[in-house]
Amino acid sequence: MVSVVITTYNRRAYLKAAVNSVLAQDYTEKEIVVIDDGSTDGSADELLGLPLRYVWKENGGISSARNLGISLAGGDFIAFLDVDDFWKKGKLSDQMALMKKEGCLISYTDEIWMRNGTRLNQRLRHRKYSGMIYEHCLPLCIISPSSALIDRRLFDDVGLFDESMPVCEDYDMWLRIACRYPVSFVNRQLIVKQGGHADQLSRRFEAMDRFRIASLQKILSQQILTPEQRVLTLAELRKKCAIYAKGAEKRGRLNEAEEYVKLAGTLNQCHGE
């Protein structure tokens, strides 16, 4: 069975469409768990009479909502769906078929991007890959949470979402998975991501690379990377530190800029460069 964890926070206008896109899937062995992270907009009223489990919790962030969903899920596989996204038909059945064929524990799909009703083209840097994709996950998050389907046994190995991270928690999770496990890619646009909302997390936090920098530092400290992965991670960390320092300096945050310049220099010294 697949447990579909839908997380929401004051997004009543999108909630029913997201749920209906799961109910419309031809894969029958599924359950829906909606985790409401403290909504005050009457979101629960949208779900009356629908075959799902709804749980309201105090607001604690997207990671805490997903982690609660995982703990309540009864399925062998976990799929996530952000409330402002929705699935195309065949999403679950295509992924389950590929994972059975390839014997993999995680898969993801291609996606359609919409912003304020207009379709966007993906850039080359957003290209998707199959296999041991760790190096492709380092620059940016190429796996959308709404496209991921995960054998729940993976969480026993890599842990849950980091609740200390207000954003980039998905980037952090995919690094922990991709450094250990192959990832299968379904080359079909099976989810629709709707952006452009004024309250999106990515708009609430400036310079999100500082959270990715923290994630890279964390994974380096855990001694789980191969020597090649470690070299790639250090290179990406130095690059992000330099970019972040330049941006902070440009915005007049000189102390912050100096901090990241020093961090990059420390990385060079520690590794003989």
Interstrand relation of 149-151 and 106-115 (parallel, antiparallel or unpaired): antiparallel
Q: What is the CA 46 to chain-centroid distance, rounded?
A: 25
- The pTM (predicted TM-score) of the whole model is 0.91
- Is residue 92's pLDDT more than 60? yes
Task: Return the pLDDT at 46.
Answer: 96
Whether domain 2-204 has CATH 3.90.550.10: the reply is yes
The set of residues, in sequence order, having a beta carbon less than 8 Å from that of 235 and lying 6+ positions away, is none
The length of the chain in residues reads 273
Instruction: Provide the phi-psi class of 189: left if phi over 0, else alpha when psi is between -120 and 50, else beta.
Output: beta
Task: Return the pLDDT at 272.
Answer: 42
- Is residue 270's pLDDT more than 80? no
DSSP 2: E
Give the tokens for residue 200.
Answer: 């999106």
The mean per-residue pLDDT over the stretch 16-30 comes to 98
Least confident of 67-81, 151-165, 207-221, 244-258: 244-258
What are the start and end residues of each CATH 3.90.550.10 domain in the chain? 2-204
* N-term to C-term CA, the chain: 50
